[in-house]
C-alpha cells in the first residue's frame, strides 16, 4: 500500500480526509474500507468516525462534494453562448468527462453493493433529478415547442438525463469508443427534433452558474468536476 499523502498546508482537516477517501476509492473501488481510508489519511479509524459518524456519513460527504461539482459544470455548459448543436455536445461532454475523471467514485455513487445498508448506490439520484430540471428549463427558455412546450420540455429533460445516464454507464464500463465519438453518437440521437424546432423570438438567457464550492484539493480537475 502506498504511503499516506502529505496534507496540504492550511488545508481543512475534513478536506484532507475526503481527499484521502477519494484516493482510496479510486484505487480500491466502491468497497474501500474505513480502515484503508484512515490509513491513507495517516490517522486512526476513531478519528475518521469522529468527523463523519460512520461510513454512511463519509459517503454522504463524498456525494455532496462530487454532485455539487457536476451540477455546477452542467449549469455552466447550459449557459454557454453556443449554437444549439454545439451546446448539446458541450453538455453531453461535460457529463461524460465528469464520470470518466473518477470512474470508481462514480460507481460508488450509482451501483449499490450487495447488502449495502448505506444506500450509497443511489447517491447520485438527487443530482440527476436536478440535472433533468436544468435541462427542462433550458429547453423551455430557448426552444419554441408550441403550446405543449411545458410538457415536451419536461419530457425531454427527464428523457435526456436518463438516456445519458444509461449510455454513459455502459460507455464507462465497456469503453467501446473515445469520449468524443460517444458525445457525437448521443448528440445525433437527440438532434432531430431539436434541429427542427425554432428558437424563441427572445430566448431567455439562463442565469450565470454559481461559483463551484471550494473543495480544498488540487486533485480536483476544473474540467472534470464530478467523479
- Per-residue confidence of the chain (227 residues) as pLDDT tens digits? 334 444 444 458 888 999 999 999 889 888 888 999 999 999 999 999 999 998 888 888 888 888 888 889 999 999 999 998 999 999 999 999 999 998 988 888 887 665 555 555 667 788 889 999 999 999 888 888 889 999 999 999 999 999 999 999 999 999 999 999 999 999 999 888 777 777 766 554 455 555 444 333 334 343 444 43
Distances (CA, A) of 162 to 26, 34, 87, 125, 155: 25, 32, 18, 11, 11
Give the pLDDT of residue 213: 44
Nearest in space to 152 (alpha carbons), one of 196, 104, 210, 214:
196
**From the candidate CATH numbers 1.10.10, 3.40.1350, 3.30.1390, 1.10.3470, the one assigned to the domain spanning 7-53:** 1.10.10
The C-alpha atoms of residue 207 and residue 186 are separated, in whole angstroms, by 26
- HSE, CB side, 13 Å, CA atoms: give it for residue 209: 18
* Res 154: pLDDT: 95
- What pLDDT is recorded for position 176? 96
- Locate the domains of the chain by residue range: 7-53, 66-199
pLDDT value, residue 202: 55
Topology (CATH level 3) of domain 66-199: Tetracycline Repressor; domain 2 (1.10.357)
Closest to 222 (Cα-Cα) out of 88, 117, 111, 77 = 77
Contact 30, 107 (CB under 8 A): yes
Q: Do domains 7-53 and 66-199 have the same CATH topology?
A: no
Amino acid at each position: 500500500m502506498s504511503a499516506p499523502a502529505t496534507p496540504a498546508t492550511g488545508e481543512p482537516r475534513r478536506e484532507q480526509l475526503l481527499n484521502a477517501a477519494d484516493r482510496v476509492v479510486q484505487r480500491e473501488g466502491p468497497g474501500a474500507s474505513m480502515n484503508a481510508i484512515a490509513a491513507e489519511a495517516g490517522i486512526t479509524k476513531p478519528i475518521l468516525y469522529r468527523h463523519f459518524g460512520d461510513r454512511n456519513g463519509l459517503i454522504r460527504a463524498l456525494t455532496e462534494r462530487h454532485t455539487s461539482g457536476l451540477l455546477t459544470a452542467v449549469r455552466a455548459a447550459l449557459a454557454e453562448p453556443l449554437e444549439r448543436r454545439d451546446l448539446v455536445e458541450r453538455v453531453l461532454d461535460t457529463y461524460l468527462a465528469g464520470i470518466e475523471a473518477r470512474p470508481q467514485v462514480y460507481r460508488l455513487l450509482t451501483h449499490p453493493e450487495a447488502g449495502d445498508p448505506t444506500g450509497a448506490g443511489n447517491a447520485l439520484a438527487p443530482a440527476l433529478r436536478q440535472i433533468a430540471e436544468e435541462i427542462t428549463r433550458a429547453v423551455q427558455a430557448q426552444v419554441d415547442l408550441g403550446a405543449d412546450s411545458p410538457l415536451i420540455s419536461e419530457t425531454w429533460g427527464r428523457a435526456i438525463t436518463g438516456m445519458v445516464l444509461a449510455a454513459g454507464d455502459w460507455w464507462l464500463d465497456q469503453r467501446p469508443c473515445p469520449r468524443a465519438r460517444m458525445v457525437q453518437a448521443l448528440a445525433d440521437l437527440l438532434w432531430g427534433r431539436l434541429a427542427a424546432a425554432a428558437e424563441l423570438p427572445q430566448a431567455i438567457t439562463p442565469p450565470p452558474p454559481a461559483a463551484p464550492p471550494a473543495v480544498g484539493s488540487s486533485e480536483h480537475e476544473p474540467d472534470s468536476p464530478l467523479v
